[in-house]
Structures are given as C-alpha cells and as structure tokens.
Amino acid sequence: MSALPMPAPSFLHHYAGLPDRFFESVIPAKAPKPELIRINESLAAELGLDAEWLRSDEGLAMLSGSGLPDGAKPIAQAYAGHQFGGWVPQLGDGRAILLGEVTHEDGSPRDIQLKGSGRTPFSRGGDGKSPLGPVLREYLVSEAMAALGVPTTRALAAVATGETVYRDEALPGAVFTRVASSHIRVGTFQFFYAREDVEGLRTLVDFVIDRHYPDLKESENRDEELLKAVIRRQASLIAKWMQLGFIHGVMNTDNMTVSGETIDFGPCAFIDEFHPETVFSSIDRQGRYAWINQPVAGNWNLARFAETLLPLFSDDREEAVRIAERCLHEFETIFNDSYFDGFADKLGLSGAAEMTRPFIEKTLGLMAESSVDFTVFFNSLTRFCFEGVPLELPESEGWKSWLEEWQKWKSEDVEVLERMKFSNPVIIPRNHRVEEAIQAGMKGDFSVFNRLVEALANPYEECEEFADLKLPPASREKVTATFCGT
Ligand code: AMP
Ligand code: MG
C-alpha cells in the first residue's frame, strides 16, 4: 500500500493582498546543503502543519528557502523606524521573507517567515543571511518566553544551510522560521506617515484592527481606540519582561510590534545578578535600553506610533495632538499597575498598593545592593513558602529587617501564594547556557541546544534532570555582552 501524499501547508495571503507599496516580491536564496536542526512539533500541530512533511525533502526545501511549495508568495515587508533614537526612513525586511499565513487552531492567522534566506530589495549593504548563532539564540529565547507566558513570536524551525557566511569571521549559515501573529511594527506605520501616505495609514489601521483588535471594528473612535489598545498591550508586555529580568536590548521602533508580541531576539538577555542598569547589548553603549529604562523606551516608541496616527485623529493638528497626548498619558498608570501587580505576585503579596509598592521597591533596591541572582532569589521565596526550604539571604541588617517585613506583608491566602509558582520560574535561558549551546552547535553538536530547548519548555517546574541549567554562571562563565550577530 502506498503512503498517502503528505500535505504541504496551504498559505493564505492577507498581507500580500495589500497594495504594492506595502512590500516587495522576492525569491529566497537556495541553500547548498540544507540540514534540519530542529522542528517545533507542538507549534506545528497548533498551526495544522504536518511535522512529517516539514521533515521531508520538500519541507526542508521550504524551511531553508531553497524551494517553496505551490501557494507560497514570498515577500519582504516595507517599514521604517527609529534606531537608538535616530530616524531611518527605510528599513524593511532585509533578511526576512514572509511566505504567507496559516491558520492557528485558535482560528486566527499566523505569519510564516524565513529569516536568513538571502537578499531582498531592503537588504542595503547586507547579505540577507544569518549565521547559526543568532538562529539558535532566537529559537531558545523566543520559545522560553512563550513557555514563560510572555506574548512573543515563536520558533517553528531552525535549519543549517551548509553555506559559510562572513561577518568578522567565517561562520556556518542557518535559516530560522519565525511564526508571528503579524510582523507589523510601529515602524510599519512610520513608513507611511513619513511618506504622508494617509491612505496607506488607513489601510494599515484596518488591517491591524481586523487581525489583532477585532473588538474595535465597530468602535466610533477606532484610531484612538487602536492607539490605546496598543499602549495597553505594550505596557503589559514590558512589565512582564521586567518581572522575569529580561532585557530586550534593541527596543527600536522597528522592533516593536503593534500586536504586543516580543519580537527580535538579537542582543537580548536575562539578568543573572540583579542590577537595574544592566545592559548586555554590545551596541547599546549609552544604556538606552537597560532593564530599568525599558518603560521609558516603550513610552517613547508609543509616542512615535501616536504621531503616525495624527492625520487620522483629526484634520485639526492641535486637536489631533491633544487626543494623542491623552492616550499616551495612560501609559504610566497602566505600566505601573502591571509592573507592581506582577511583582506582588512574585512576592506573594496581596495588600493595597500604598503598602506593597514601597516594599517591592525596597526589595529590588536591596537585591541590587547585594547583587543577588534575580531568578534564584524569587524562586527561593516560592520554595520557602511551598516546600519549607530555608531562605538563604545575604547576611545583613537590611535583609534581616526585610525578612521580618516580608513575613508581615506576605498573604495568608493560598490563591495569592499559588500565583508565586507561576510568576517565579525555576529556569530561564541563562546567557552562559545559550552561549554554550551556540558554541557546541557551531561544532555540529546540537545536543546541548536540544537539551536546553527541552528544559525551557516547562520553566515553572522543578526537574532533577535539568538541575544544572538552573544555576547562575560561575564567574568564569559570565557573559557580559551579547551581539546582534546579523
Ligand atoms: P534588526 O537589527 O534585526 O532589527 O535589523 C535592522 C535592519 O537591518 C532590518 O531592516 C533588517 O532587515 C536589516 N538587516 C539586519 N541584518 C541584515 C543582513 N544580514 N542582511 C540584510 N539586512 C539585514
Ligand atoms: Mg528588527
């Protein structure tokens, strides 16, 4: 009996159905010797994709960009953006190619995009390729974020191309398949605003509301409501990052989605020893995107987003600015609520904000002073509450009185304490572990990477098998700088 032919994905093309100036058609480059590194089977299942097909020759051809199935319509999306505050009128997908959308089991579309499959009309001086390192990093960190419960783009696959790419050195090339609820960025709006293309902005607003904010369809002030909705999602996203000690690293407007998903895992990293001013990104010399500055950066980006909507708010510029300011004004409150509520959950607190907020700030201040490991500290509180594991706090008067205060503020309510378990992960993708996985991968050994992916899939569960991966870096293992590596 012959096996039934396996089904290739059937792509939809909502984005490619937009007017021509939204994108450029492209043909991905052929990979000389594609080899599969990993497929995300559970995500494939959610997307109705046949994992067996993805593993087949045809599947591998698609995931490496070497040969696309019928029905794919490869395009590079146009966008602009502010990079570290400097305006760039045209960026666009220089090393990413959208194949189309597929339908998630939740009923909504997801973009399937190849990263690193060659040049596009937006590549400028770049080669459109990606070294293996950034592919493995994005796979690990984006999937960890998803498992941690943070809105994020996802990893469907990583494929080695068999090609050498040249950066400062010769490196193995790879292609990453990214899944996102869309790839529309603040910078996409800026692209049309900068060109005074109000029709383009209207089309984009319709598209975004349709895809991400369907509740706003019938709203009378759709443009204003859209701004508020994006502000809400971004404020809550940035608060979540901070509660996990995550530093995005390149919060440029082209790296901020309007869906509220984390995107672009370049020089991102999780904090080990807590210091609020921590920066890892080698290109962020001023500390613009340090852990503590992320809400300021987010708010600034949202102001750039608001600016693009001014022509839609009102013909009267002053009135339009008033509307934008009114919406932007809400960011701080929404962010603070989200930020402090999340930290209250981490500490098992349930009191009124006037009491818990100063205590949260005091806790973070003490943590910074004594360089405690962010993840280990919060996880030890959970273990103390649930398993009676004694707390190992730094020896000091400050911590002694902190402990007394914590015991006082800590809730008695089991439901509140239960939230600690899902707020304080046991394991995060620590930099030295990500680095270790990349280094082994460069030598052709993906077992370290695969083990780390598996460990990070259940970040809130204690697991003996992965106990070593929980540990902070020894001093010789510390990673002090991360690179985009593009
Ligand atoms: P990113 O740092 O990933 O946000 O990228 C910023 C801009 O540079 C985007 O327009 C990218 O498409 C482009 N870019 C990054 N790496 C490359 C590359 N290797 N080749 C071409 N364009 C690139
Ligand atoms: Mg980017």
- Give per-residue pLDDT as tens, 39-53: 999 999 999 999 999
Task: Calculate mean pLDDT across residues 346-374.
Answer: 95
pLDDT digits (tens, 9 = 90+) for 411-445: 999 999 999 999 999 999 999 999 999 999 999 99
Catalytic residue among 254, 272, 341, 373: 254
pLDDT digits (tens, 9 = 90+) for 394-403: 999 999 999 9
* pLDDT at position 10: 93
Distance (Å, whole) CA 127 – CA 171: 13
pLDDT digits (tens, 9 = 90+) for 201-226: 999 999 999 999 999 999 999 999 99
* pLDDT at position 413: 96
Closest Cα partner for 101 from 71, 80, 122? 71
* pLDDT at position 4: 67
* pLDDT at position 479: 85
Ligand with smallest separation from the Cα of 134: 1
pLDDT over 80 at 104, yes or no: yes
Task: Calculate mean pLDDT across residues 115-130.
Answer: 97
Token digits of residue 15: 């984005």
Instruction: Count the neighbouring beta carbons within 10 Å of the beta carbon of residue 66.
Output: 20
89 falls in which pLDDT band (50, 70, 90)?
A: very high
Token digits of residue 73: 């319509």
pLDDT digits (tens, 9 = 90+) for 231-277: 999 999 999 999 999 999 999 999 999 999 999 999 999 999 999 99
H helices of 348-396, in order, are 353-369, 374-387
H helices of 256-373, in order, are 294-313, 317-347, 353-369
pLDDT over 80 at 6, yes or no: no
Task: Calculate mean pLDDT across residues 326-349.
Answer: 98
Token digits of residue 8: 């290739």
More confident residue, 110 or 4: 110
Q: What is the CA radius of gyration of the chain?
A: 23
Distance (Å, whole) CA 122 – CA 126: 9
* pLDDT at position 342: 98
pLDDT over 60 at 1, yes or no: no
> If you measure from the C-alpha of residue 264 to the centroid of ligand 1, how many angstroms do you get, rounded to a whole number?
10
> If you measure from the C-alpha of residue 289 to the centroid of ligand 2, how many angstroms do you get, rounded to a whole number?
15
- The reply to whether the predicted model has a pTM over 0.85 is yes
Q: Is-catalytic flag, 315?
A: no
> What are the pocket residues of ligand 1 if the criterion is a CB atom closer than 6 Å to any ligand atom?
91-95, 122-123, 126-129, 250, 254-255, 264, 266, 484, 486
Query: Which residues on adjacent β-strands are paired with residue 2?
Result: none
Distance (Å, whole) CA 106 – CA 16: 22
pLDDT over 70 at 137, yes or no: yes
* pLDDT at position 314: 97
Distance (Å, whole) CA 474 – CA 376: 14
pLDDT over 90 at 84, yes or no: yes
Residue type, 11: F
Instruction: Count the neighbouring beta carbons within 10 Å of the beta carbon of residue 296.
Output: 15
Distance (Å, whole) CA 161 – CA 414: 51
Q: Name the residue of 88, 95, 483 to mutate for ligand 1: max ligand atoms within 8 A of Cβ.
A: 95
22-26, 340-344, 480-484: range with lowest mean pLDDT:
480-484
> If you measure from the C-alpha of residue 253 to the centroid of ligand 2, how many angstroms do you get, rounded to a whole number?
9
> If you measure from the C-alpha of residue 398 to the centroid of ligand 1, how many angstroms do you get, rounded to a whole number?
47
Q: Whose CA is nearest to atom 15 of ligand 1?
A: 486
Check if the beta carbon of residue 306 is closer than 8 Å to that of residue 191: no
pLDDT over 90 at 481, yes or no: no
* pLDDT at position 285: 87
* pLDDT at position 365: 98
Question: What is the pLDDT of the chain when averaged over all its residues?
Answer: 96
Residue 20 makes CB contacts below 8 A (sequence gap 6+) with none
pLDDT over 80 at 27, yes or no: yes
pLDDT over 80 at 486, yes or no: no
* pLDDT at position 49: 97
Following CA atoms 171, 177, 183, 186 in sequence, which dihedral angle do they give, to the nearest 10 degrees?
A: -30
* pLDDT at position 451: 98
Q: Whose CA is nearest to atom 16 of ligand 1?
A: 486
Check if the beta carbon of residue 130 is closer than 8 Å to that of residue 155: no
Chain mean position to CA 441: 22
